[in-house]
Each structure stands twice: as C-alpha cells, then as structure tokens.
Structure 1
Amino acid sequence: MPSILIADRDSNERIGIGWLVNSYAIPYDKVHSAGTMEDVFEMMEAHTPEVLCIELDMIGRGQWDRLKLLVDQYRPTVVVTTSEATFERAMQGIGLFARDLWLKPQTPEYIRRILTRCCQERLDRKRVNEEKGTGADKHRDVSYLDLFFPGHVQAKSYSLMLAQLEDPKRHPELLRFFEEYPFRDKPDLLPLGETIVGVFPMDAAVSPSTLHQMGKRLLMDWEANNDAPLFLVMYDASNHEQSLNENYAEASQALQVRFFKGYRQVTVMDNPVNWTMIDPFLTPAEQRTWVEMLDEGNREELKQWLYTHFFYKEEPYPEPGLLRIRLTSILAQVRRYMKSRGLDSAPLEEEYHRVFETILYSPILYRIVVELLLFINQLLDAAHHPIDESRVDVVEQAIRYIEGRYTDPALRLEEVARYIDRSPSYFSTLLAQKQGSSFRQILTSLRVKEARRLLLETSLSVQEVAERCGFINANYFSKIFKEKTGTTPRLLRNQKKR
C-alpha cells in the first residue's frame, strides 16, 4: 500500500488530514507527518512516501532546490496547500509537478476525494508496472508543467478535451462527472480556473470522428442529470509533432468559438483557429447611419443592422476581441444620443454602464446584441414615449407570462424580460425585491406544482409528466422533484395508490 507524508506548520492541519485518512479508510499503509522542512527532508529520505501533501508557505527560500531534487529523485505524487491564492504559489506548485493545489481552508470531502484518487493512481500504476514485468515507477502523469511550459513534453499522439461551464463555480460537479465517466481511455484531468483539461493517453487511438462522437455523448450524458450549460472542445493532435503546451495553446483558442456558437455545443478541431481580421471601428458613414437611425427611432432598422453585422453562422469567424471593440464603438454613438436627449442620468446611466460591462465580458455574442437592443429600446421609450412606471406592475405582468409558458423547456429569463421590455439584470433585481425569489425558483416551483398534480390525478408516465411540465428529461425532473418535495415522482404515485 502507498504511504503518505503530511507536511504542515500547523499541527491541527496535520492531525486533521491524518484523521481523515484513517476515518475514511483511505488505504495508505503509513501516514507520516512533518512540521518543519528538515523533518520533511528526513522523512522523504528515510521512508520515501509515495504521496507528499505539503504546505507551500513552510518552504524557505533556500530549501526549494533540495526539495525539487528529492521530488525528482523519489517521484512522489505531490499535493500542495496554501493560504495565498496567488500566481506565485500556483507556479511553485507547478514546479513540484503538483497533482492538485488546495486553497485553505478546504472541505474535508474534497481532501478525502483527492487523497483517495492519489492513492488509487499509485496502486494502478504499480499494478501496470508489475504487469509489464518491472517494479520501477518510470511513468509520470501529465502535469500542469506540461501544459504551461513550452517544449516540456513532446505530444505527437496526445488528444485533448477542454470543458467549460457557463458557471465556473459548478466545475467541481463537472470534475466528478469526468472522474466517474466510463471513458474507454481515461484522460488525465487537470482543472484550471475556468476550464477542465483532459489529456488522453498517447497510445489511445482517437480519430476526429471518434472525438466528435465522444464529445456528443459526453454532452448528452452531462445534460441528462445537470442543467448547467457546457461547452466542449475536442482537439485531435495525431498529426502534430509539437509539445503539449503548443497543442493546449491551439485548443484554448477554440474555446472562444463559443462566443459565436453558444453553450451546449461540441467543437472538434485539429488545427489552430483561423480568425478573420476586421476593422473594429465604425466608418464615418456608419456613424452617420447610427445617428440617423437613433434620431428617427427606427427600431426595426436598428435591429436588422445589428443582426446583419453580428450574427455569424459559419467559419471563419472574426476575432472576438475585435468584435467587442466594434460593439463599444456602436455604444459610443448610443452615448452621444443619450447626451443629446438628456438621458444620461440614473437609472439609464446605470444601465449604460451595465451594457458596457456586458460587451466587455459576456461570453456569448448573441446575448450582447440582445442586451444592446433592449437598452436602445429603453432609450427610445424614454425619449419618445415617456411612461409612468409607478402605474405599471411589470413583475405581475412577468409572473402571468411565466404562468402561461412554464411548460416550454426553452423558456428563459431573457425572454420574459423582453416581454416586459426590461433588461434581464433589472428584471432579475425586481423579482428578488418584490417576490423574494429568482426567476429559476419561480419557474421550478410552477413546474413541480403542476407535476405533482399530474402524478396524483392522471395515469401519465413519469416521462410524460416531465415533458408536459417543461423538463428536458425524466432523470433531471426526478432529481429536481425530490429536492423540492422530499420524495421521488414514483414514490409519490405509489403512495397515492396505497
């Protein structure tokens, strides 16, 4: 069985991690601990632990070289911990070929999962070496160092998977999904801030068509039980004689394709993205056109101009950064219109700054264009058709709209906001203030309520009930139903029968 060395200046941290190892029966043969770097050096040379869990903050300036030498000599699986979320600490972890970096304080469940994975990987590696007739551990997993340092690993046959959720906070769920997924050839998983990178083994025969099928299957299986939008890049490097760092840099470019395609998509590539270069600034003629369209309040013409110039359906796409500049150039003309009509005061001024932020940072082009159009419509309303908003209960209008369309699985907050002619962010704030609930909570509550009625009053199957209530599939419906009611659809129906 592997052994582990827990190195931390805080004795409570050492004791706590040791307790987790023993309490969860993680199969480490020996658990060693060290409170100083001298203890670390002594333990590594005396016991050669297979797994090293070390606090970066305890390593002195003059102790790095010796530690790196021991790591290179004994090749343990390294996990690093730190209380400083800095680039310097991340680079120090990379320099030690760290398998994972923990930012203190870390949850016991996460620590247990990582240490269990490290232990299992060592056992698997030992078994493979024994099957090959050698006890020497000559294999090193792909590491962050391989991704970020040029020329570190030649990767002629590596293929890559890059996965990105719309909400990066849910990446731990996606990582668990990949860890448990029955890949034919298990990739090395390297979580980053906003992306999870999967590196498939060098000897895995993965063709572009296979990658595409794998990507579609992954996307379908993820969405069967999760509602977080996912974007996948599958990169075929079989014809590339270059480092893994170079392959990763090319594959990362393809993540920007989601700017045009949106989430819930798979992009397969085997070459760098070929962006089209455009002039990002409006010409004098285009500036005059915008001034005229705004002055005339021609909403349809404004919409068609934006759709014509910003909705791209096929490659090659313009470089996304240039499009963002072009959109800010348009917003500058909108700003001139605001000032000329005396509309540059709150709350329209706040909306202007929010739209500016959306142009700079929103990951999807379609959403940016829609937000810009909604804001322009607000300005035109304020300039030509002043409305006493105190007489209009837009939240009530929105609730009625949701109640009439909650069975549509494609219903989104943006659609309801368009119906009441408000921006999505403003509408979301109104809901929270007046209803105490988010759009998603209100929508889910209506769907679950109707589902409960159908389960108790009809003989429709669970799948049919899910479809009638706006859920994409039965598995996700059952998961949400149990979260909201405390029981599953089938158990509720069985209780009714009894």
Structure 2
Amino acid sequence: MIKIVIADHDDFEAKGIQWLVESSVSNVSIKVATSLSETILALEQDPPAILVYDMNIGSSESLTRLLKIHEPAMICLTMEATYETAKKAIDIGTKYLLLKPFSPQELLNYINNLIREQHRKRQRNAIHPHPEIKQEVMYEELFMMVKKQAKSYVFIAFQPENTSTIPTLNQFLKDYIFPVSPIIFPLSDMLLCLFKDAADVNWSERCKRFMLDWEQEQKEPVSIIINHDQYSGRSIHERYSQTKKMTEVTFFIGYRQVLEFESPLKWAFIDPFLTPSEQKQWISFLNEGNKEGISQFLTSEFLQFHEPYPDPGLLRIRLTSILAQIRRHMKSANLDSNSYEKEYLDIFDTILYNPLIYRIVQKLIIFTSKLVDAVREKSKSDHLELIDKCLHYMELHFWKPEFDLNELSRYVGRNSTYLSHLFVEKTSSTFRESLTQLRIKEAKRLLEETELAIKEIASLTGFQNQHYFSRVFKKVVGKAPKEYRMEH
C-alpha cells in the first residue's frame, strides 16, 4: 500500500484530487491536509511515500525539516509561472511541478510514475522478494510435457507490436503493482505472466489499467491476452501453448486490446490455395489491369473475418498463392527489373512475417496497382521498336478471342498490310502464327502449373471453344492438351 498525502488549502480541490487518484490507482492510502499545520502533522504521524503539495498552503522551517528527514516523492502545484516559484519547488525536493490549471490525466501520470519508483525502491531494499513465488514454475516447464498442473494460475500474455520493446516491457512489468505478484517469463515475441488466481480480482480491468499506464509512458502498442481456462487436467506446457495460440488473434484485430479466453482457441479451416476459378479470375484481373477487382477480392477475402478465425498460417499460404500469380504476370510483362524484383521480395517477406493482416493486404494492393500502371506505361512507350511494340501489345492482349491484326494496327497507327509484311520480315512468321505461338505458350504454362479445366484454359488463351483449341494445340505441340498435362 502506497501512502499519499494531498496538501491543499482548498478543501474542495483536495477532495477532488483524492477521488481522482482513488478511482484510478489501486493499492493507495490517501490523507488530505488543508492547512500547513495539518500537513506537518501528517508528515510527523504517518510519513507518506508521495506528497502532492499546493505551494499556496505555505511553508515553515518545520515543514522543510520534515521533508528532508522523510524525503517523500513530491508533486508541487502552483498558479505562479515564475522562476522564483520553480526554484523554491526544486529547493524543497520536488519531482514534478504542475502549473494550474492542469489536466487530471497529467497529474495521474506523475503519480503513477512516482508509485512505480516507490515499488522499484522497495524491491531493491527487499533481500528476498517473493522467493516462494519465483520457485513455483520454472522456464523448462513451459516447453516440456511435465505433470505439474496449471489450474491455480491465470496465464496473461503481454505482446508488444514491436518486439524490440520487450526488455522495457519486462522492466515495466517488474515495477508495476499488481494485486498478486506475477511470475514473469520473457520470451522472443511476448512476456508471459503467471498469476495465482484470486477470486476478487477483475483481471480484465487490471489489464486495461496496465495498458493505459504503459502507453502513457512508452507510446508503444501492446495487446494483452488473458487465458482463464482452468481445466484441472492441463499442464503448464499445455496452458502456455494455448496462450501462445491465443496471441495470434492480434493478426486479425490488431493491438491495443485486452482479450479474454475461457477455453482453448480453435481455428476455422480454409483451403490455403486458389481454386481453378480463382486462378482464372486473377489472370483476368491482371491481364485487364482491373485494379478495382483486385482490391475488392483482397478486401473481401482477407479483411472481413469473424470468429472463429482461420489459421493465420493458412492465410499466409493463400496470400503467397496470389503472389505467385502476380509474379507470373510480372515475368510475362517483362517487369523483372531490380526495383520491381526488390519490391516483390519485400512483399513476400511481409506476407510471411508481418503481424497484422490489414497491413499485408494494404501493401499487396499498392504493389499490384503499381504493377498494373507500369504495364500500361510500358505498352505506351515510344522508345520501343515498332515490331517490339507490336509483340509487347500482343503479349498483353492475346487472351482476347476477338484480338486481330486490325486492332494491333490501330494501336501502333500503321496500315495492317504493312504490319503483316513487317511480321514476316522481322520474325519469319505471320501475325497469325505469332499470335498462335503466344496463346499456345500460355496454354502450356497453365497446363503445367494449374489444375484448370481444358475448357477454361482455352477461354483464358483466346480460343473461341475447346474443340478448336485442342486441334490447334495438337497441331503445334504434337500432343493433345490432356496428354501434354499428364506428361508434365
């Protein structure tokens, strides 16, 4: 229990501060003094750890002497913003000087800081602080299947978004005043605390207060996961594994939240791979440069979950399946320069390791939009040779059944007869032969890398029907599509 004296000549203001502190801070005992004599008496009879001192209450040699003897942590209040007032506050040993009017939260922040300092001081002075608690559960019991049951503990995980803050959070937990002293286990991505369960403790409210105090001092997001499951047969290792799994819910809902679980978390199953129809949809999105369709797909598929949530690991696999489609499009559009390659690898890394799904989706939408724009710009480039410009445009539009020489001639602004002659001269193939080669090349890739039906592949590669596609494919490749797929 931390003792606090509030010395303020205004009784109404003093009691207001008392109510504010008592309603916001636990384990404190507060006395109010409304005169200099009452302040001196409070310091003499029961010296406080913290003194909130209104400098207008007055001073005396007796007060100064008592402050030097007992050295309470002081917060001075004043209405005078002068050098003399600040010097006087420093001379009597104040920690903080607050100028009226001040916000209640500012005062609470200072009081909480002083309480933590007092707690640290007590721990340093204690020869064996809670030795019996520290010996009850050992590190190896978290990771090994031993028979010790965990029924008597509440498991609470403190998970910072930025893991580099774990040492700071660890010290903050050690200094923080809980109703029950925790056993603290610092881990690579979180801190796990085991509390002896107390029926009268509202752990949700305690953790919300802790989060508020933490973020006022450190400004770093943290999520707190409370595992209340107390099935008698579970071991320390099982409860730890449960709690670690529960922390993965932040992947969907983010940080700055206190989550409670009464039973083990179960994931909903999803197919981690794109279906043939979804592959076809993505090929169309990318070929058509449909940014709106891409955004809608990613938003509906990955940002509209509800309980029970799917396994985050399966979601990451599903995202890499989409990224593979984007990668193929980059290759076909010749967008494999160093800058795009670097961004692609960065997106891949984000999918694998970023702790929040909405950030992954956001980066993927931005990257895909950038690629679509780059493909469009590349197709408009005047620096390409005419035949290269024609071939590049054909690579982007061969999948359209109605694509023909007239469309290409309109795009490059040349006569179709001239283009027909140019193709034979530069490529030793006619326009129709070049177009067929592109379509068959893409068909072979789809047969090798996807499970799409032959009919769907025919549609995606610009053929009017499956029968005509099969006939042309066998003529060019020497094998029917089904036979080619079986061999590859």
TM-score by length of 1: 0.49
**Post-superposition offset of 1:317:** 0.6
Structure 2 matches for 1:180-195, cutoff 5 A?
180-195=175-190
**Does residue 302 in structure 1 map to residue 297 in structure 2?**
no
Contact map agreement 1:211 1:268 (CA 8 A) in 2: no
CA gap of 1:347–1:206, structure 2 versus 1, over 3 A, is farther
338-347 vs 148-157, greater mean Cα deviation = 148-157
Match of 1:184, SS state, is coil
Partner of 1:158: 153
State the distance in 2 between where 1:299 and 1:342 align: 19
Partner of 2:270: 278
Contact 1:164 1:194 in 2 (8 A): yes
Q: Report the 3-state secondary structure (helix = DSSP H, G, I; strand = E; otherwise coil) of the residue aligned with 1:347.
A: helix
- The residue type equivalent to 2:275 in the other structure is T
Shift of the alpha carbon at 1:248? 0.9
Check 1:145–1:290 CA distance in 2 against 1; reply closer, same or farther (3 A cut): same
Partner of 2:362: 370
Change in 2 beyond 3 A, CA 1:117/1:150: farther
- Offset of residue 262 of structure 1: 1.2
Partner of 1:205: 199
Secondary structure of 2:153's match? Answer: coil
Q: 2:126, 2:237 → 1: CA distance?
A: 27
Q: Which residue matches 2:257?
A: 265
Which secondary structure state, in structure 2, belongs to the residue aligned with residue 323 of structure 1? helix
In structure 1, distance between residues paired with 2:136 and 2:258: 26
Unaligned runs of 5+ in 1: 1-112, 126-136, 389-498
Structure 1 residues 117 and 237: alpha-carbon distance in aligned structure 2, compared to 1, 3 A threshold: farther
Could you say which residue in structure 2 is the equivalent of 1:120? 126
User: Closer, same or farther in 2 for the Cα pair 1:274/1:256, shift >3 Å?
Assistant: same
Q: In the alignment, which of 126, 136, 139 is matched to residue 141 of structure 1?
A: 136
Contact 1:166–1:228, Cα closer than 8 Å, also in 2 = yes
CA gap of 1:329–1:201, structure 2 versus 1, over 3 A, is same
Structure 1 equivalent of residue 245 of structure 2: 253
Count residues with an aligned counterpart: 262
Distance apart, 1:121 and its partner CA = 6.5
Q: Secondary structure at the match of 2:184?
A: strand
Q: Specify the alignment match of 2:105 in structure 1.
A: none
SS at match of 1:381: helix
Counterparts of 1:183 and 1:220, CA distance in 2? 14
| 8 A Cα contact 1:150 1:243, kept in partner | yes
Instruction: Give, in whole Å, the separation in 2 of the partners of 1:121 and 1:154.
Output: 30
1:291 pairs, out of 278, 283, 288, with 283
Q: Distance in 2 between matches of 1:228 and 1:266?
A: 15
CA distance 1:138–1:179, change in 2 (3 Å)? closer
- Counterpart of 1:324, as a letter, is R
Mapped partners of 1:227, 1:159: distance in 2 = 26
Change (3 A) 1:298 1:138: closer
Match of 1:360 in 2: 352
Structure with bigger gyration radius: 2
In the alignment, residue 291 of structure 1 is paired with which amino acid? I
TM-score (normalised: structure 2): 0.50
Residue 228, structure 1, aligned to residue 220, structure 2: yes
TM superposition shift of 1:123:
4.9
Give the deviation of 1:120 after TM superposition: 3.3
Structure 1, residues 376-401: CA drift from partner, whole Å, max 9, x if none? Answer: 0110111113699xxxxxxxxxxxxx
- 1:492 alignment partner in structure 2: none
Identity %: 39
Q: Give the unaligned 5+ runs of structure 2.
A: 1-118, 381-488
